[in-house]
Structures are given as C-alpha cells and as structure tokens.
A and B are shown apart, each in its own frame.
Chain A
C-alpha cells in the first residue's frame, strides 16, 4: 500500500496555502500513510501542518534559515526520507519546482510535474503546450515523484491532530551554494497565489500610476494584484506579480483583467479561475474569448466607477 510524503512549503513562520491544497491532491491517491515533511528553523509551520485533516505524521527537520530554502541542501534530506515512501509530492511553486527534479534525479525517477488531477495510484493528469493539451500520464515503477499544481485543488481543512516528530538526519550538506539575500516583496495585501479575488493589469494600465489605481480598488475588494508579462516587462510592477503558464498559475473565485489582451501563455495561468472578467478597450482582445463577463471600456473610467459602486454597496 502507498506511503506518501508531502514536502511542505512555508515562509519560516507560516505554512503556505499551497501545502494544504497539495495535501488534497495527495489524499486522493489511495494510501496507507500520508506524512508531511517540514524543513526549517521554526516548528510553527510543522505545528500548522499537523492540524491538517488526513495527515498521519509531520516530520520536522531543523535547518538554519539560510539553508531551508536551498534545493541543494534539502535534496539529500528528502532523498534520505524518501526511502520509506512510495510517493514524494511537493507543491509546484518556485520552491517545489526548484527542489523536486533534483530529488527525482537522485532517485532515478521520472518526475510528473504540475499535476492537476489524480487518476489512480501512479496515474495523473497534467497540462502541456501552455495549457493547449491535457495529458494523462503514468509514472513508471519505482518511487512516484510528482509536483502538484496547488491551485487545481481546494485546501484541506484544519481539524486534524497529527504528531510532530523531530527528525535528525545528520547529513553533511553541500557548501557550494550560499544565500545572499531574498528581496521579498512586502505586501499587506492577500497573497496572489491564494487570494480569492485577483485584479490584474496589463500593458494597457500604462504605468506605475495606473497600477496605483488598481491597488486602491484591490484594497476595497480585499483582492490581490497580479500582472501580465507585458506589464512586468515594461517595469510597471515586480516579477513576482506575473501570472501565466511559466510564472504564477492562479485560481481565484474572481479574476478581473484590466488592459490585458490575453496572450495564451497568460490565459493558461488563469484558466481555473471561477469567474473571469475582462475590461479592455479592444473588443477583439483574445481575453474576451475566455471571459465570463466582458466589458469593452477604458479601464481608467471603469476603475473609479467600480470604486464608487462598491462604496455605495
């Protein structure tokens, strides 16, 4: 029977919502045990993981903070732990995408990336060609190594009571890689990847000041702000706001695109959103093809009107 290990993602203090979503995916694989591994300097994320329903054990591996995010340091630890498991899973965030293939190579395993559905013990569905095709793929014999597109799953709720076990692996970790710094985008706003509402701007937003308007509206809606590649390339906003097939893939309940034309690389990143709204002056913009609600209008007129409408609500 299957024994699943899920690697948690966290920011040092809090468990990333991608973990609870990936857990939902993991729970769909028939299994005997399902454990979560937490690597870090603080036990807090491990304690949160232990509360998730369906978890058998949480393995806490203590690591100094400057190593906890480095794939080269985590890889030997995960490989060591994986000996007891049939499946090793990780959220397909930038953290998981960095780490897991290195682990897979060490295990001589063919990895399945970015799974969006479970189709049996070792059979999964995933998108290829920027979301233009959906494949069903079967992992070969040996350890199943897979990353999970977290936003394709609802988060598992809290209410469980797993135990946190501290594991001391006592391995020598490589010293060839040093973390010089993380320029974390600080934001009081909801996290783009887990927000239930997202407003996004494209080239049509015109510049930083246009995004200020968008932020103001986002605050009123309790929404996160994202952007198309064009807006990031133009320097309107930092890279961590980019939504798309090869950047952040999101699935909020409500997604409103302002001045985004809708290159299919971008559309691949929002296809699982609940309601897609497009505001664009170009009635032919491809974004309207996927929008549930389209409004052909100037976003600079729409944003203040929306603010007004929300204030009157």
Chain B
C-alpha cells in the first residue's frame, strides 16, 4: 500500500521513562553540540502516561543525571521513603516483620522516592516537548519498516477506521510511515515490536528466556489518620502457596493516597491460579485491610513486568535501532525496581546516537553494547543475577536466606550463575493434576468484582475494529488449552478479556472481549501454546490511567 511518510533523525516508540529519557538526552546533547537533530516519540496511549503503570519506587540518581535541576523543574517525584517494612505473611492474620539487618540490601529503599510513574512520564513528556521533541500520542507503532539492507528504517503507524472484518469505514485513515535514521524501541515489557525484532535479529541468542511477572495495582485514597507519606511495605508469602512466586507492595504517596499492588511470577504452574483474585485476597490480610477500611478505591490497572535480569538480557542493538528499558528487560529483579535503569538506558542510547551522527552517514549503533556493559545497569544486574533464580529454586525462605547472604555479604560475587532455562509459558501443569483454588467472594468494600475493577482503568476501545488479540490457530483454546489447562487465559487476564462460554447445547466457544484489554501483555506471554499475538489496537485505545 502507498503510504504517506514523515522523516525524523530519530524515532522513538513508546513515551515511557526509557523513550522519553532518550528523547530528552538526544536534544540536550545535540543542543550542547550545536546540532539540529529531529526526534519524535510515538505513544499508543491517548496521552503520555495513559498506559504507564508501575509501583513505583524511584532511585533518584538516574533522574538527577538527566535533570540535575529536577527539584527546580518541579518533577513530580512525590515523597521520599520514610519508613519501610519487609514482612512475611504467614496466613491471613499474621505478619512477621524482618528486622532491618535481615533485609537484603537490594530491598532497602531509603533515599528513594515513592512516585506515580504515569505522572512522572507526563512531566518528562512536557520537558521533552519543551526541548523540541515531537510527541505523537494516540498513535500506535504497528509494524516495522525495513531498509533495503534489512536494517530498521522506522515504523508504520496503525490504520485508523477499520471495522471488525477489517473493511474500511468512512473516514478511514491509513497508517503512515515514520522513517528515521535510528529507531529506538521503548515499548515497555514485552513490546509487540520488540518481540518481532528479537526474532528477526536473533537478539536472544545465548540468553535465557525472559521471565515475567504480572503486577496488578490499585490506588486508594485513605483516611488521613492512617496515612503516613513515605511509608513503604513489601510482603511475601500468603496468599500464595510456597510453589508460586510473588508478593505485595503498599506505598504511601502524598495527598492521602496509597499505591498498592500484588505481583505474581508468571512461572506459576497451577493453571487454576488467578493473579487478580490473589491481589483481592491479599488486601484482606490483617496487615492491609484496616488501612483500606473507610477508604475509596480510585484506580485499577495491570501490567506485565520482566524479571529475568542479567541471564535474560538480549542483545539490544541491531541495524538501525536499539531496544531500551523494559523492552529489553532491564528491571532489576532483586530490587524490584527498574525506572532508574530505563532512564539510564535511554541516556546511553542518546549518547550512542549522537556519536553515530558524528561518525557520519550510515554509522550503526553497535557501540551501545559496549557502553551498556560498562554501565551501572549491567553491573547491578550482574550483581543481582542469582537472586531471582534462587528464590524460584528454593522458595521464599531458603531462597530468601541465600538472597541475604549473596547480596549483603558477598555482593553477588559468587563464582557461579544460577539459571532458569524454562520459559514461563512452558511450566503450566495439567488442570486435573492441580488443586483448584477457592477464592473468597468480593466483599465490595475492600475486594471487588473484576469488572468493577476494570471500570476504574478507564479503558476504552472503539468497538467496531479488528480484534487486536490474534490467535495463530483459532482451535487451540478449545482443542488444547481447555481440556488440558481449563483455558488459563480466563484467569491470568486481569481484565476479563478471555471467556469460555457454553451455549444451551453445551457447545463451548471462546469469547475475546478485546474492548476490556488493559494492554498488560500477559496473554502473549503466558499462553501455554504461545498462540496469542497481542497487536496494538487503534491508536488511543486502551486504559486511561490517571496516576498509576
């Protein structure tokens, strides 16, 4: 198809911390050197921040490197961590607090900031625009655009105005080509273009599969008397049984708000497990519930996160582009923090891009790998490399003891590397072989029905458009997933997108409620048959997160 085309020096996919840091740093460096470098950022959310969801705790150093004057520029970094607790939840009533000395160093958060990453990104977006970056929100980078030599030449934005069957509706607008000398991919965890790039350029050669978790988050406004800005709580143990990994977090922001969430490792084996229900149940714990009582839930959302760490690092450069931030899996699984690495990777990319411009036409971005290996991102991921596998192998207690020893005494210097060679989608056991999990009914005060939650994500998609969740083989859900795993998509999806329904004659069918999708990518990750391709829907669709 003949498409309109626009050209930039640098195109960036995704207005998250990595993409925006790259855009900002490129403009800053170009300014210092008197160069004119045009930069655009494509963002599939209806505005910057609309699809951003994170805990979140921020290591301020990385932001400081980008904007030394972040304070004067009124960066919305919220409050500093004041008090912190790490608790093991033994059942629904008891919490065992770790004494400070027993807390592994990576989980100590003193000096960090409790932030809303969505709001931080909105601010970064404004800074970027102030520096002359063109941010196009509401435009999904749909597919890759190749150069003749096979390198990346840019991206094609999604078509707007197709109906369910893919026919053009009145007002149809074909997507356009966004061409660039360099294209930086910063889509966040498991980006759909990142997935294609990884395959095309064999970026994962020699690396372990990426490992993932799903994080489900809510924001509440609570009673002023119970609110302690800067208070940070992390829990592990209940309600998960020993065989599944994960834990909860609860951070007091300012303005009487708390951000709380629950992360479940997507390497869980029991197909009956329901991450959403685990989160709802976790809120009923005696340590959490009293805090929320009398409060109002303001927001809900979910997002997959990567936790493969050092062993799962892909090559991040390829002809014409780079993979950045969580698109490359830079979250530190020991710290459970990644924003600082996303920001740093963006800045490194900017330096590389500027050097390549200086080197003249056609220079590639290979230097990035070297820079990356010499960066603090690499060293901290290396140092933390054994933590997540140890927790997987030996469980929270024994693994936790190793965690402490490895990080607090040995600083990750053990002469071996633990590995997790099995991908998360490959570890599900048969439904019949696993105990069903009996989740409590929502009480409508602390725990809620899933659809009531999805409503709080302000998710909206144009109804009459092609389904953006594509099955490679339409028969797999009912022919394979249903008999073997009771179609786990019904449970791991935190937005009730997938439902197996039976008609009056008992004939089953899979219903895909694509309109509910909060773009978390879990289905693309966890489907045991790897049969689901998450594709971007019409630009601007998806959640409209406020302060996630």
Establish whether A and B are touching in the complex (CB under 8 Å): yes
Please report A residues at the B interface, Cβ cutoff 8 Å: 282, 284, 286, 289
Give the interface SS of chain B, mostly helix, strand, loop or mixed.
Answer: helix
Interface string of B441-474 (1 = CB under 8 A from A): 0000000000110010000000000000000000
Pick 9 A–B contacts, CB within 8 A, sort by A.
A282-B513, A284-B451, A284-B496, A284-B513, A284-B516, A286-B451, A286-B455, A289-B451, A289-B452
Min CB gap A204→B, angstroms: 12
Nearest B residue (CB) for A284 = B451
In the complex, what residues of A have CB within 8 A of residue B496's CB? 284
- Known: A282-B513, A284-B516; 7 extra A-B contacts, CB below 8 A, are A284-B451, A284-B496, A284-B513, A286-B451, A286-B455, A289-B451, A289-B452
Cα distance A284–B496 when bound, in Å?
A: 9
| Count, chain B residues at interface, CB 8 A | 6
Cα distance A286–B513 when bound, in Å?
A: 13
Cα distance A34–B516 when bound, in Å?
A: 52
Cα distance A284–B451 when bound, in Å?
A: 7
Min CB gap B493→A, angstroms: 12
Min CB gap B170→A, angstroms: 12
Interface string of B508-524 (1 = CB under 8 A from A): 00000100100000000
Cα distance A271–B452 when bound, in Å?
A: 18
Rank and list the top 5 A-B pairs by shortest CB-CB distance, nearest first.
A284-B451, A284-B496, A284-B513, A286-B455, A289-B452
Among the interface residues B451, B455, B496, which one has the most CB atoms of the partner chain A within 10 A? B451
The B407-466 residues at the A interface (CB cut-off 8 A) are 451-452, 455
In the complex, what residues of B have CB within 8 A of residue A286's CB? 451, 455
In the complex, what residues of A have CB within 8 A of residue B451's CB? 284, 286, 289
Cα distance A289–B448 when bound, in Å?
A: 13
Cα distance A289–B449 when bound, in Å?
A: 11
Cα distance A306–B394 when bound, in Å?
A: 61
Nearest A residue (CB) for B452 = A289
Cα distance A137–B39 when bound, in Å?
A: 48
Min CB gap A133→B, angstroms: 14
Cα distance A289–B456 when bound, in Å?
A: 14
In the complex, what residues of A have CB within 8 A of residue B516's CB? 284
In the complex, what residues of A have CB within 8 A of residue B455's CB? 286
Interface string of B56-93 (1 = CB under 8 A from A): 00000000000000000000000000000000000000
Cα distance A284–B455 when bound, in Å?
A: 11
Cα distance A286–B496 when bound, in Å?
A: 13
Min CB gap B233→A, angstroms: 32
In the complex, what residues of B have CB within 8 A of residue A282's CB? 513
Min CB gap A234→B, angstroms: 10
Min CB gap A236→B, angstroms: 15
Nearest B residue (CB) for A261 = B463
In the complex, what residues of B have CB within 8 A of residue A284's CB? 451, 496, 513, 516
Min CB gap A282→B, angstroms: 8
Cα distance A282–B499 when bound, in Å?
A: 11
In the complex, what residues of A have CB within 8 A of residue B452's CB? 289
Cα distance A43–B513 when bound, in Å?
A: 57
Nearest A residue (CB) for B503 = A298
In the complex, what residues of B have CB within 8 A of residue A289's CB? 451-452
Min CB gap A207→B, angstroms: 15
Cα distance A289–B451 when bound, in Å?
A: 9
Nearest A residue (CB) for B455 = A286
Among the interface residues A282, A284, A286, A289, which one has the most CB atoms of the partner chain B within 10 A? A284
Nearest A residue (CB) for B513 = A284
Cα distance A242–B535 when bound, in Å?
A: 35
Nearest B residue (CB) for A264 = B455
Cα distance A144–B496 when bound, in Å?
A: 49
The B479-526 residues at the A interface (CB cut-off 8 A) are 496, 513, 516
Interface string of B331-374 (1 = CB under 8 A from A): 00000000000000000000000000000000000000000000
Min CB gap B430→A, angstroms: 27
Min CB gap A118→B, angstroms: 29
Cα distance A286–B516 when bound, in Å?
A: 12
Min CB gap A285→B, angstroms: 9
Cα distance A45–B513 when bound, in Å?
A: 52
Cα distance A282–B451 when bound, in Å?
A: 12
Cα distance A101–B455 when bound, in Å?
A: 35
